[in-house]
Amino acid sequence: MENLEQSFDIIVIGGGIVGCATAYKIQQKFPTMRIAILEKEASLAYHQTGRNSGVIHSGIYYKPGSSKAKNCVDGRRELVQFARENGIKHDICGKLIVATEPWELPILNQIYARGQENHIEEMEWLDAAQIKLYEPHCDGIKAIRVGCTGIIDFKQATEKMAELMQAIQPESKIFLNTRVKQTYRNGPVSVVDTPKGIFTARYLIFCSGLQSDQMALRDGVKPYMKIVGFRGDYYELTDAGKHKVKNLIYPVPNPAFPFLGVHFTRMTDGSIECGPNAVFTFKREGYNKTSFSFADTWDSLGYAGTWKLFKKNWKFGMNEYKRAFSKALFLQTLQRLVPDLTMDDIEPGRSGVRAMALDTNGEIIDDFKIAYTPHSIHVLNAPSPAATASLAIGNEICQMAEKQFLLHEIHKP
């Protein structure tokens, strides 16, 4: 007999910011629809959302015309408005992208040009003296100041989106500690098997982050990619070192590598984080240097694309591993931007794991990637700046669901 309390119109699997933004946006468009969010952890935003750098990205780095670029710019503007309207902790403090070597200047010029193409507001060039006006302890030869970027509490924003969904429709529910074991189709409904019993829905939307490829396979979808985890370790400035960084300082990213580089971030609680590095992790949700899962390791290292990535980037990977186990090496990297930092100014902080999608050739899938079945949508790849872009992504998935599932024929606003 069907449990009506666990029967919904749509079930969103994954309680990170993309999942909650998607549920919220669909609920806004279809207020009578009953939506459930299933999250395997004890709280929302437990993994990538709650462990990222907390930066509201501008969209300056991304390829013009890409889904990343459009959703980041649109999503950033909407997220800032959402934060203002709902009392979410945030600060549009701006950031500096700083060149410290002459060879970085052409790359910095390209970033500025890309920002212009992406219609990023509040960009300005700074010379060495002007850098000091914003960040007195930062040494650079030239910088871009991006005034429209800032910091936010992404976990608080995620929780507010889920709360507003339920305020619109009290019959919509959030289920924590609810791990999805299996999904299958039974006639007109999808069945979701969990330790808390069977859930049913007309349609499923998977926003499962680090587990996105595995969840797709369970739903009979071939993702044609593999999620490989890269842990990022942070240091934190001590009370003695906090005064040396005011807001956000980024290096010029090396275009040969898929990361923005070790940077400084003032968090909404006033702490200053430095990082992250990027090292292959032997457990998808492993946040310690010694975290290990045989199944996750076998899954990643049994994939040809992983080894092709390693082969192309082995020098970078070795340097990242050395830095992960050496405070002195980490400090040397930080001193490129803030030369007067000392060992006493930094202490180990938290860590996060980034879900990196690789194709079989070892190429990183850099843009958002979504797959469909007649009864489900899978967000296979939502890399940074997905948190910044979450409300825009939610809008996009809502439109996809409306078209794919013919939602307007089932529920009308």
In this structure, what CATH number is given to the domain that contains residue 192?
3.50.50.60
Nearest to 249 by CA among 366, 348, 336: 336
Concatenating the DSSP letter of every residue in 5-47 gives: GGEEEEEEE--SHHHHHHHHHHHHH-TT--EEEE-SSSSTT-S
Q: Is the pLDDT of residue 413 over 70?
A: no
Indicate whether 88 belongs to any domain. Answer: no
- Min mean pLDDT across 255-264, 274-283, 396-405 is at 255-264
Nearest to 266 by CA among 24, 11, 95, 405: 95
Beta-strand runs (E) in 216-338: 226-237, 248-251, 263-266, 272-275, 279-280
The pLDDT assigned to 412 comes to: 53
Indicate whether 33 belongs to any domain. Answer: yes
* Inter-axis angle of helices 304-312 and 314-324, nearest 10: 90
Nearest to 79 by CA among 37, 24, 146, 117: 24
For residues 386 and 7, the answer to whether their CB atoms sit within 8 Å is no
CA distance 136 to 138: 6
Q: Is the pLDDT of residue 319 over 90?
A: no
Indicate whether 30 belongs to any domain. Answer: yes
The pLDDT assigned to 1 comes to: 37
- Min mean pLDDT across 140-144, 175-179, 192-196, 277-281 is at 277-281
DSSP conformational letter for 368: -
Task: Report residue 407's pLDDT band, with 50, 70 and 90 as the boundaries.
Answer: confident
User: Is 320 or 370 the better-scoring residue by pLDDT?
Assistant: 370
CA distance 262 to 93: 19
Give phi and psi for 345, each to the nearest 5. -85, -15
The pLDDT assigned to 408 comes to: 72
Indicate whether 247 belongs to any domain. Answer: no
Question: Residue 314 has which token pair?
Answer: 């082995």
The pLDDT assigned to 3 comes to: 60
Which residues, 6+ apart, have CB-to-CB distance to 154 below 8 Å? Answer: 17, 45, 49, 50, 52, 54, 387
Indicate whether 330 belongs to any domain. Answer: no
Indicate whether 60 belongs to any domain. Answer: no
For residues 153 and 88, the answer to whether their CB atoms sit within 8 Å is yes
Task: Find the domain containing 44 and state its range.
Answer: 4-49+155-224+367-410
CA distance 99 to 114: 16
What pTM was estimated for this model as a whole?
0.94
Question: Residue 408 has which token pair?
Answer: 């307007």
**Distance in angstroms between the alpha carbons of the first and the last residue of the chain:** 30
Task: Report residue 313's pLDDT band, with 50, 70 and 90 as the boundaries.
Answer: confident
Average pLDDT, whole number, for the chain? 93
Question: Residue 45 has which token pair?
Answer: 């935003």
Percent of the chain with pLDDT over 90: 82
Indicate whether 376 belongs to any domain. Answer: yes
> What is the 3-class SS of 160-189, one letter each residue?
HHHHHHHHHCCCCEEECCCCCCEEEEECCE
The pLDDT assigned to 172 comes to: 97
* Inter-axis angle of helices 67-86 and 154-168, nearest 10: 80
Average pLDDT over residues 144-164: 98
The per-residue pLDDT for range 107-139, each reduced to its tens digit, is 999 999 999 999 999 999 999 999 999 999 999
DSSP conformational letter for 337: T
Average pLDDT over residues 257-276: 88
Average pLDDT over residues 16-42: 97
Question: Residue 376 has which token pair?
Answer: 């489900």
Indicate whether 349 belongs to any domain. Answer: no
DSSP conformational letter for 342: -
Q: Is the pLDDT of residue 243 over 90?
A: yes
The per-residue pLDDT for range 44-84, each reduced to its tens digit, is 999 999 898 899 999 999 999 999 999 999 999 999 999 99
- Determine how β-strand 35-38 pairs with β-strand 90-91: unpaired
Which residues, 6+ apart, have CB-to-CB distance to 357 below 8 Å? Answer: 213, 225, 226, 227, 228, 364, 365, 369, 380, 381, 383
Provide the number of structural domains found in the chain: 1
